[in-house]
Amino acid sequence: MSPAEYEKARRRLIRRDKVLGAAIKTIGPCGLAERQRKDHLSALVGAIVSQQLSTKAAATIFGRFVALFPEGHIPHAHAIHAIEDATLRSVGLSGQKVGYLRDLCTRIADGRLQLEELEALEDELVIERLTSVKGFGRWTAEMFLMFRLHRPDVLPVGDLGIVNAIQRLYGLRKRPDAKKITALGEAWRPYRSVACWYLWQTLRNEPLAKATKSPRRSQSTSRAR
């Protein structure tokens, strides 16, 4: 998506959803494009490293990992294969994650996973390809779609941050399930990825809850009906 497309998405979301729109106005321009890895391989490796870790811890370990390569850049999957397990463990990777990396690199090397084709595939086919790799679930594939391929209409209904953000922003009594989130997200098409980025931001901004308090109440009431 281009900067102009992100702005178009922002305006459309503001028009279609008054609750989310109030948050968007407070937050400002979408920063989704700024969180992107250099290439597909580093994005997938980063996804493995990040599993079950805080953002800070994941960044530290990923930094140590890429420092194993010349100029801090992963040249290709074969370069990862050439590193011994003990060295990978020394940068902070668990034995399980080392196994995931091995499986990823093996699939790339033997052609079962062709990174260059991912750009041209539909979202569900990308998810199908990636979830064949050990350690990659649907959520990981969805994050790749959003933050590497910049697909505009991804809605990760299983993301805990999205669940919590919706409950908080819309004043729901209980956490929304996948069906509720999917229904709510219909108003955000075809820019559900952008909507999700704004939802994540609402969890980082405490004053935002006060700024959107009134419209949240009225919207949640209307949705209940």
Q: Are 121 and 129 in contact (CB under 8 A)?
A: yes
CA proximity to 78, closest of 40, 108, 55: 108
Q: How far apart are CA 193 and CA 199, in angstroms?
A: 10
Q: How far apart are the first and last CA of the chain?
A: 36
State the catalytic residues: 159
Q: Buried b / exposed e across 1-19, counting CB within 10 Å, b at 16+?
A: beeeebeebbebbeeebeb
Q: What is the DSSP letter of 207?
A: H
**Residue ranges in the chain assigned as alpha helix (H):** 3-16, 18-27, 40-50, 55-66, 77-81, 85-90, 95-110, 123-130, 138-147, 160-169, 178-185, 192-202, 206-211, 213-224
Q: Are 223 and 170 in contact (CB under 8 A)?
A: yes
Strand boundaries in 11-99, DSSP class E: none
Q: How far apart are CA 115 and CA 120, in angstroms?
A: 10
CA-angle at 101, arms to 72 and 104, nearest 5°: 110
